[in-house]
């Protein structure tokens, strides 16, 4: 009997020591996180990108939140409306005397790198004053597939008079096809045996896919959360694969089109066709706006040491989009084609980030308004 009691006491002591050690480990981990968070906040502030999982479109921003978006090249304020987009609040019903314009796109449309009022969407609003109402539904990392879902689930109810789809040709096409994209937490498609597009359900992304973990991380450790997100996106970019030392998405410019890109372009065509029908059925005018990239403007300057770049045609994706628009009967404005080739376009993009600067957004706003005025639309 005495032996049993001794054994029980030994077991109790072991469990007690285990619990104490676990608490000590937890304390060390939490303390380490707080020290790291404090260090980052004091010396290398990251801000908070305010990402959250959205079961309807994959990812968007956290509704009704404000934060800073910080990098060595910019430090901007992010404020998100109740729908989860970087915009002011808009009523569902609109003034019949005002033309309502919905703009969809990726990170170039959300434009977290500049202040909200410096974005091309807001500059268009300012130029046309109270004759129009511009709604910005841009979400970073979206391709045409995700933008179509955004229109269905968030834009339609606002009944816009015009729907502008801002296409970034460098990666919006590849974003729709998983073998080129490699992010399974955004909407993608594939071609089935009948040569029809088939939707691939997206998965919950790491960290932000867990609401509780995401909320705790963003509230208690926003700098660590932001740094982890940036690291994850960089790793995702690397995991997309490289060919001849270049990111796969750059092969959208290749003269010799791969089988993967042939499929991606077929998917893009079907998506644009469906997009056009959805918009028209909603009583809106559908307009494609083909954006341009830093590589197109600067003629692949940062990759000149790569031999394969000499087989790239900077105009190719825009030409293909123009052809698709003509085939599908969609109004199309190609901004690259509207640029003055004799004009030196400098400082349009951040060097490292490669998104549009304040000056870049001014140029884009001017080109879009010029294209719309030529078609006697909007203001």
Most confident residue range from 49-53, 204-208, 234-238: 49-53
Looking at the fold, whether 11 and 109 belong to one and the same domain comes out as no
Other C-beta atoms closer than 10 Å to the C-beta of 314 total 19
Instruction: Give pLDDT tens digits for 292-348.
Output: 999 999 888 888 888 888 899 999 999 999 999 999 999 999 999 998 766 777 789
Is 74 inside any structural domain?
Answer: no
Looking at the fold, whether 27 and 127 belong to one and the same domain comes out as no
Strand pairing class (99-104; 242-243): unpaired
Calculate the alpha carbon distances from 262 to 170, 177, 188, 232, 256 in Å.
15, 11, 15, 28, 10
Cα 173 from Cα 171, distance rounded (Å): 5
Is 185 inside any structural domain?
Answer: yes
pLDDT at residue 118, as a whole number: 98
Is 51 inside any structural domain?
Answer: no
Looking at the fold, whether 39 and 102 belong to one and the same domain comes out as no
pLDDT at residue 235, as a whole number: 60
Is 102 inside any structural domain?
Answer: yes
If one counts the domains in the chain, the total is 2
What does 173-238 look like in DSSP terms, one character per residue? Answer: TGGGBHHHH--TTS-EEEE-TTS-EEEEPPPPPTTTTSHHHHHHHHHH-HHHHHHHHHHHHHHHHH
pLDDT at residue 268, as a whole number: 98
Looking at the fold, whether 287 and 215 belong to one and the same domain comes out as yes
Give the percent of the chain with pLDDT over 70. Answer: 91
Is 351 inside any structural domain?
Answer: yes
Number of residues in the chain: 379
Quick one: pLDDT band at residue 102, thresholds 50, 70, 90? Answer: very high
- Environment class of 292 (CB within 10 Å of its CB; exposed 0-12, middle 13-18, buried 19+): buried
pLDDT at residue 104, as a whole number: 98
Looking at the fold, whether 10 and 151 belong to one and the same domain comes out as no
Residue 276 sits in a domain of what CATH number? Answer: 3.40.50.1110
SS3 52: strand
Looking at the fold, whether 13 and 160 belong to one and the same domain comes out as no
- Environment class of 326 (CB within 10 Å of its CB; exposed 0-12, middle 13-18, buried 19+): exposed
Instruction: Give pLDDT tens digits for 267-278.
Output: 999 999 999 999
Cα 144 from Cα 249, distance rounded (Å): 15
Range name among 205-219, 241-255, 288-302 with the lowest pLDDT average: 205-219
Range name among 28-42, 103-117, 150-164, 350-364 with the lowest pLDDT average: 28-42
Name which of 340, 332, 330, 339 is nearest 372 in CA terms.
332
Per-residue pLDDT at 2 exceeds 60: no
Q: What is the mean pLDDT of residues 37-62?
A: 84
Per-residue pLDDT at 279 exceeds 80: yes
Is 48 inside any structural domain?
Answer: no
Is 146 inside any structural domain?
Answer: yes
The angle at the Cα of 369, spanning 367 to 370, to the nearest 5 degrees, equals 60
Looking at the fold, whether 192 and 111 belong to one and the same domain comes out as yes
pLDDT at residue 160, as a whole number: 97
Looking at the fold, whether 10 and 140 belong to one and the same domain comes out as no
The pTM score is 0.88
Quick one: pLDDT band at residue 12, thresholds 50, 70, 90? Answer: low
Per-residue pLDDT at 243 exceeds 70: no
Quick one: pLDDT band at residue 203, thresholds 50, 70, 90? Answer: very high
User: For 235, phi and psi rounded to 5 degrees?
Assistant: -65, -40
Q: Check if the beta carbon of residue 142 is closer than 8 Å to that of residue 108.
A: no
Quick one: pLDDT band at residue 209, thresholds 50, 70, 90? Answer: confident
Per-residue pLDDT at 5 exceeds 60: no
SS3 337: helix
User: For 282, phi and psi rounded to 5 degrees?
Assistant: -90, 5
Strand partners, 67: 78
Quick one: pLDDT band at residue 236, thresholds 50, 70, 90? Answer: low
User: For 46, phi and psi rounded to 5 degrees?
Assistant: -105, -20
Q: What is the mean pLDDT of residues 157-168?
A: 98
Looking at the fold, whether 108 and 32 belong to one and the same domain comes out as no
pLDDT at residue 340, as a whole number: 79
Looking at the fold, whether 103 and 246 belong to one and the same domain comes out as yes
- Environment class of 338 (CB within 10 Å of its CB; exposed 0-12, middle 13-18, buried 19+): middle
Q: What ranges in the chain are assigned the alpha helix state H?
A: 2-43, 107-110, 120-128, 144-150, 178-181, 211-220, 222-239, 259-281, 294-297, 316-328, 335-338, 358-374
Is 80 inside any structural domain?
Answer: no
Looking at the fold, whether 328 and 197 belong to one and the same domain comes out as yes
Per-residue pLDDT at 376 exceeds 90: no
Q: Which domain range does residue 305 map to?
A: 97-219+237-374
Looking at the fold, whether 139 and 39 belong to one and the same domain comes out as no
Cα 27 from Cα 232, distance rounded (Å): 26
């Amino acid at each position: 009997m005495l032996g049993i009691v001794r054994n029980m006491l030994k077991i109790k002591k072991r469990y007690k020591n285990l619990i104490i050690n676990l608490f000590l480990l937890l304390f060390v981990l939490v303390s380490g996180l707080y020290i790291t968070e404090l260090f980052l906040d004091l010396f290398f502030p990251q801000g908070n990108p305010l990402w959250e999982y959205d079961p309807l479109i994959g990812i968007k921003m956290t509704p009704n939140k404000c934060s800073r978006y910080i990098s060595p090249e910019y430090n901007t304020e992010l404020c998100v409306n109740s729908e989860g987009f970087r915009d002011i609040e808009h009523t569902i019903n609109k003034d019949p005397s005002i033309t309502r314009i919905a703009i969809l796109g990726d990170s170039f449309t959300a434009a977290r790198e500049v202040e909200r009022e410096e974005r091309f969407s807001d500059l268009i609003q300012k130029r046309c004053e109270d004759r129009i109402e511009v709604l910005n539904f841009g979400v970073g990392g979206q391709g045409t597939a995700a933008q179509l879902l955004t229109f269905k689930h968030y834009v339609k109810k606002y009944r816009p008079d015009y729907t502008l789809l801002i296409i970034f040709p460098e990666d919006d096409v590849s974003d729709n096809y998983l073998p080129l994209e490699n992010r399974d937490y955004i909407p993608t498609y594939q071609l089935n045996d009948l040569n029809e597009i088939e939707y691939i359900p997206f998965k919950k992304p790491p960290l932000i896919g867990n609401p509780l973990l995401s909320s705790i991380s963003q509230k208690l450790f926003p700098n660590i959360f932001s740094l982890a997100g940036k690291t994850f996106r960089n790793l995702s970019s690397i995991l997309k694969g490289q060919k001849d030392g270049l990111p796969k998405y750059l092969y959208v410019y290749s003269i010799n089109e791969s089988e993967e890109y042939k499929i991606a372009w077929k998917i893009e065509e079907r998506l644009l066709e469906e997009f056009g029908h959805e918009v028209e059925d909603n009583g809106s005018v559908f307009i494609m706006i083909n954006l341009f990239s830093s590589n197109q403007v600067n003629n692949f300057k940062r990759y000149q040491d790569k031999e394969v770049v000499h087989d790239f045609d900077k105009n190719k994706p825009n030409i293909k989009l123009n052809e698709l628009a003509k085939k599908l009967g969609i109004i199309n404005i190609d901004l690259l084609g509207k640029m003055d080739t004799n004009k030196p376009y400098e400082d349009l993009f951040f060097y490292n980030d490669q998104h549009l600067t304040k000056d870049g957004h001014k140029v884009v706003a001017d080109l879009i308004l010029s294209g719309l005025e030529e078609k006697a639309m909007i203001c």
